[in-house]
Every structure is written in structure tokens, then in C-alpha cells.
Amino acid sequence: MNKKVLTLGALVVVLAVIIFLLTGRGGSDTLKIGTIMSTSGPVSHFGSQCRDAIQLAVDEFNAKGGVLGKQVELIVEDDEKNPEKTMNALIKLATKDKVKVVLGALTSDCTLAITKEAQQRGILLFTPTSTSDAVTDAGDLIFRSCFKDSFQGEVMAQYAVETLGASKAAVLYDMNNDYSTGLTKSFEETFAAFGGTVVASEAYAGGDKDFNAQITKIKAVDPEVLFLPDYYNTIALITKQVRNQGLDVTMLGPDGWDELVGQAGKEAVGGFYCNHYSPDADDPEVEAFVRKFKERYNITPNALAALGYDAAYIALEAIERAGTDDPQTLKEALMETGKKYVTGYITFDEEHNPVKSTTILKVIQGADGKLATEYVGMVNP
């Protein structure tokens, strides 16, 4: 009886060894990475396309044999643009799914809610799209593939003075949103540094629908440009109320304006904003990405889709170089990045922010009466 038990035990050990050898470290034959995106809620246009672009990149790697001999498994979490749900998603990815790399979150407020937690848990957090300057402050495991807010604010302030010839500016911003307040600070400081005067700086609370009181105050000081640092859905409301009050001013914005042409009316025509790329660019990487995205999803990819695609490629290529997804080794491989991607040639500075150019777009009305964007220039860092 004891001999039979011993034989059975030995068989179990042999089987365990075989499983270990077949699966490499005895674990899954997939390489898991997570992503936290706002695929529902107020910025779902951004979140859904960013998620889809990340999945496209993952599928392209898998079609070529995967990464480190394993198929890449993308685990998607939706935070609904709610920082508390972002935290829950991160904890779930870390504890249940055991991922070591997370692409996300989408918006700055959601990403800022989890940077310290990711750093403490030893998770490499790589946000494609969160532009707040503070995002990478939490530690050496936090990266991003988008330019930061201070760069956007500087670019648009400089463009207002040097290209548009403006000397008086007004700002209308969301006082409860890190993205909006960070952009406001950068724009105002740079505009003043270039010799301009900020004649009005008016605030509203996120979720507000009526901006007429603030616009009335702005109209009274007669600015030449109006900087609106918020997302497309809010900007569509603001631009309509600006024109309804008869305020003839050139409106300016950041990357959050992307998708505005599908939400606003002709009141947005003539506005300028900076963005991470233009789908109409005469560039091989851009053309290939736009073609593949359209073929799969039947829609032109927005800027956040391009950023998500780039982030996935940068992260997976770094894992290949590192030979592991261990965050401490992977962070060094990420710092070796130096390559042309969809949103430009990308390297990383010592704070893990990308060094890259930005595109200036103008909102126009096409011959068919629909709004569109027109490429008007490029600004290098």
C-alpha cells in the first residue's frame, strides 16, 4: 500500500516537471498586459479608439509569433473616467490577473489616481494619453507616450503671439480638472513671457452646461484669442455659446479638441488646436496605421488611437529587448527607445516623458458643409 502511494506521488512530480518544461516557468503560455481605458462615460470616443488601437498592435505582434515566444493577452478594464474605478481596475489587474505592465489610464485625473499605487506595487504604468505634468512624478516605473500639458500650453501661447499676432488673451477652464488647470497655468505663463496680456481667466465646474456668465465677462475685455483647455464634448457647448453672444474671437485648444469636428457646428470653424498627429499627414507610418485601423474598425483613427498604438508598440518592443516583462529591467529597455512611430520620432527624457513634435490643426468647413481639420504646421520641442 505504501509503495503504491509512493509511486503515485512520484508520477505527480514527473507530470509537474513536464508541465513546467512545456510552459516555460510552469506558468501561462501567454504574456499578459493590462490596459485601463474610459470606454464608456463622457470621453468614450477617446477611450474606445485608444483601446482598439492597442488591440490592433497586440494582434500584429501575435500574428508575427508574439513576444518572447508567447502570445500577448490584452486584459481590458473600463474605468468610465472615474478615478475610483481606475484604482479598482489597477488592483484587479495586479492581484487577480498578475500583470506587470499596464497601459493607461486615459485621462490625467484617472492616471494620477493610480501612479503611486502602481509604483508601490512594482507595476510598470505606461499611459498613452495622460498629459498632466505630474503624471511621471510618482517614480521610475511611470512612463507616457504623449507630450505633457506644459508643452501644449507653451505651444499654443507661442502660436497665438508669433503666428496669430495676438497680444490679449482670455482663458475659460474647468477648475476641477487637472488637465484643464495644468494647461491654463502653462498657457498663461507662456503668453505673458512672450509679451502678451491675459485679460480674463474664468472658471467653471466640470459638468456645467451654461457658460454664458463667464463668456459675458470675457466679452467685456475684448480678447483676441480665447484658450479653451477641455475635451471636445464641453468645447462643442462653449463654442456655440461664444458665437451666440456675438463674441468674435479666435478660439484655441489642446489635444482634448480631437473629435470636435464630429460634435460641434460651424461655430467652431476657425479654431486652432495642437494634436499628436494628423491622419491626413503625408507620412508612411501614419498612412499605414490609418489604413489598417480603417480596414478593421471602419473609422478614421483619432489622435488618442495613434498614441495607444504607439504605446503598445513601444512597450512590447522594449519587452523583446529586455527579454522579460519584469518592470525593473523593462524600464531600462524603455529608456533605450529611439525610433519613428506614428506620432513622431520618440525618445524619452530623464523624467520618462517623450521628446517629440506636435501638430497644429485648424477647424474648417469642407465643401460638403461638414467640419474637418486642416494641417497648418508642426512645432518641435
Query: Residues 199, 342: one domain?
Result: no
The confidence score (pLDDT) of residue 15 equals 42
Segment 233-242 shows an average pLDDT of: 97
The confidence score (pLDDT) of residue 25 equals 39
Rounded-to-integer distance, Cα 344 and Cα 56, Å: 19
pLDDT by residue (tens digit) across 336-368? 999 999 999 999 999 999 999 899 999 999 999
Our measurement of the distance from residue 11's CA atom to the centroid of its chain's CA atoms, rounded to an integer in Å, reads 52
The confidence score (pLDDT) of residue 282 equals 87
Query: Residues 158, 234: one domain?
Result: yes
Domain assignment of residue 60, yes or no: yes
Spatial CA neighbour of 261 closest among 358, 365, 152, 171? 365
Q: What are phi and psi of 298, to 5 degrees?
A: 60, 40
Segment 262-267 shows an average pLDDT of: 93
Query: Residues 141, 287: one domain?
Result: yes
* Poorest-pLDDT segment among 26-40, 241-255, 333-347: 26-40
> Residue 144: exposed, middle, or buried by beta-carbon count in 10 A (0-12, 13-18, 19+)?
buried
The CA-CA-CA angle for residues 36, 137, 322, to 5°, reads: 65
Q: Which residues contact 286 (CB under 8 A, 6 or more apart)?
A: 277, 278, 279, 306, 342
Query: Residues 167, 267: one domain?
Result: yes
* Poorest-pLDDT segment among 41-45, 58-62, 189-193, 361-365: 41-45
pTM: 0.81
**C-alpha R_g of the chain:** 23
318: domain CATH number is 3.40.50.2300
Query: Residues 172, 217: one domain?
Result: yes
pLDDT by residue (tens digit) across 105-156? 999 999 999 999 999 999 999 999 999 999 999 999 999 999 998 899 999 9
| pLDDT of residue 23 exceeding 60 | no
Domain assignment of residue 14, yes or no: no
Neighbours of 30 (CB within 10 A): 14
Go through 107-141 and write b for each residue having 16 or more CB atoms within 10 A of its CB, e for each that does not: bbbbbbbbbebbbebebbbbbbbbbbbebbebeeb
Question: Do the beta carbons of residue 359 and residue 274 sit within 8 Å?
Answer: yes
Domain assignment of residue 158, yes or no: yes
| pLDDT of residue 334 exceeding 80 | yes
Question: Do the beta carbons of residue 175 and residue 201 sit within 8 Å?
Answer: no
| pLDDT of residue 4 exceeding 70 | no
Segment 169-196 shows an average pLDDT of: 96
Segment 68-74 shows an average pLDDT of: 98
The confidence score (pLDDT) of residue 7 equals 52
Query: How many domains are contained in the chain?
Result: 2
Query: Residues 69, 115: one domain?
Result: yes
Query: Residues 286, 233: one domain?
Result: no
Rounded-to-integer distance, Cα 223 and Cα 78, Å: 40
126 grid coordinates: 505606461
253 grid coordinates: 485648444
Domain assignment of residue 203, yes or no: yes
Query: Residues 223, 338: one domain?
Result: no
Query: Residues 62, 197: one domain?
Result: no
Average model confidence (pLDDT) for the chain? 92
The confidence score (pLDDT) of residue 22 equals 40
Spatial CA neighbour of 253 closest among 339, 183, 164? 183
Domain assignment of residue 11, yes or no: no
| pLDDT of residue 44 exceeding 50 | yes
Domain assignment of residue 93, yes or no: yes
Report the amino acid identity of residue 160.
Answer: A
197 grid coordinates: 496680456
Place of cell 489635444: 255
pLDDT category at 196 given cuts 50, 70, 90 is very high
377 grid coordinates: 504646421
Pick the more confident residue, 305 or 27: 305
Query: Residues 72, 201: one domain?
Result: no
Residue 228, domain extent = 150-275+360-379
Domain assignment of residue 5, yes or no: no
Query: Residues 365, 297: one domain?
Result: no
Domain assignment of residue 21, yes or no: no
Q: What are phi and psi of 354, to 5 degrees?
A: -75, 145
Query: Residues 239, 182: one domain?
Result: yes
| pLDDT of residue 16 exceeding 80 | no
Pick the more confident residue, 325 or 26: 325
The confidence score (pLDDT) of residue 5 equals 45
